[in-house]
Amino acid sequence: MRFLVLLAFATLASAQNESFEDLANRAQSLLDTRPSEAATLLQEALKLRPDWAEGWMYCGAALYQSDRFAEATDAFRKGIALAPGKGTAWAFLGLAEAELDNADQAIADIRKGEELGITANPQFESAARVKAAQLLVRSSSFDEGMAQLAPLAKRGEDSPAVQETMGLCSLAVPQSLPELTPERRAVVDLAGKAAWNLVSQRPGEAAEAYRELLAKYDAEPGVHYAYGLYLMETDLGAALVEFKKEVEKNPKHWPAMIVMGSTETRQGDAEAAIQALRQGLKLMPVKYRWIGHAELGRAELTAGSVDPAITELESALRQAAGNPQVHFFLAQAYRRAGRKADAQRETAEFEKLKIQQDPLGVPGLLGSTLK
């Protein structure tokens, strides 16, 4: 990360105090090569001007480079308190928190940085997004991990870190790359190449890579799941076949089970969907069970079981009140039950959240992030 520091923040502000100016200038000259010394100088400068927001951010960056992550987070937080609109500072704070194994907070702060803007520095944005994706993968949030990487692939960023992490997402592998055997790493590499080609809109190369993945690694966990996600845009029936193959070969692959149930609902086979989703709910991590409950609610509604649908969707809402699609389907269920006021309330909440989050999106809960 050292080469990113000078790129990450704006030029140091001029100072009124000559001693302060000397400390600041000396620190700036050392940031890239001797960050520990730079941090010491910045700390001295900040004693003279504790309201210097960019100084705290520079200090955080220098401490981060020196592997002093707890001190770095403290410095970034002080800078952010003075200048909360700096997206780079929020994202850098997240990177430091990740090194302290504070994954949830790290992801939240990197996302805050993305919201405020870190695109002016593509190298820094890439580092932040890859780290966030890796953290999301470890927590089994594979779709969100892929969503972190998609902007990088779309602009042509094809570094090994981007492609390999996309491979973990597409196979639904909740591990880091160093934990994998060389044989498993080869599967992840090819899956990442296929996913990257798809997201970066190279359909010919993507099709070839997915065919190679299936031909070489038919029995490997996640391969049929990844191929099914690839097929969802063009052939829902063929995608469902792949999800079923994944579950047959790997009965504990809960992402395949959930998306299989979702696909069966879309194809009108509610009973099969309900069976798959109930099984998937038993296996998936607690923090993501709202997705299973929501999809099960949709399946129950498709089967005409309105009361069970409401129960499942209300359960999903308790965990994911900010998800507009859950409100959308719960409104449908209330309407079917004749609960007009409840349906109107949920529809209004759906419309409000949809405008805030994705005004052009189509209602739906599951689907490939590769679209």
Is the pTM for the entire model greater than 0.75? yes
CATH 1.25.40.10 residue ranges of the chain are: 1-120, 252-365
> How high is the pLDDT of residue 197?
97
Q: Tell me yes or no: is domain 252-365 CATH 1.25.40.10.
A: yes
Q: What is the b/e burial string over 110-135, where b = at least 16 CB atoms within 10 angstroms of the residue's CB?
A: bbbbbeeebeebeebbbbbbbbbbbb
Query: What is the spatial distance between Cα 202 and Cα 194, in angstroms, rounded to a whole number?
Result: 9
Average pLDDT for 1-14: 46
111-118 long-range Cβ contacts below 8 angstroms, 24+ apart:
112/87, 113/87, 113/88, 113/89, 114/87, 115/87, 116/85, 116/86, 116/87, 116/90, 117/87, 118/87, 118/88, 118/91
Average pLDDT for 113-121: 93
Q: What is the pLDDT of residues 248-263, one digit of tens each?
A: 999 999 999 999 999 9
pLDDT higher than threshold 90 for residue 314: yes
Reported confidence tier of residue 362, pLDDT bands at 50, 70, 90: very low
Are 24 and 39 a contacting pair, CB within 8 Å? no
Reported confidence tier of residue 1, pLDDT bands at 50, 70, 90: low
* Structure-block tokens of residue 172: 């639904």
Query: What is the spatial distance between Cα 37 and Cα 35, in angstroms, rounded to a whole number?
Result: 5
Q: Between vectors from CA 298 to CA 283 and to CA 244, what angle results, nearest 5°?
A: 50
Q: What is the pLDDT of residues 41-94, one digit of tens each?
A: 999 999 999 999 999 999 999 999 999 999 999 999 999 999 999 999 999 999
> How high is the pLDDT of residue 118?
93
Are 290 and 257 a contacting pair, CB within 8 Å? no
> How high is the pLDDT of residue 24?
86
Q: Tell me yes or no: is domain 1-120 CATH 3.40.366.30.
A: no
Average pLDDT for 98-125: 94
> How high is the pLDDT of residue 233?
87
DSSP states of 23-39? HHHHHHHHTTT-HHHHH
Q: What is the pLDDT of residues 231-284, one digit of tens each?
A: 998 999 999 999 999 999 999 999 999 999 999 999 999 999 999 999 999 999
Neighbours of 101 (CB within 10 A): 9
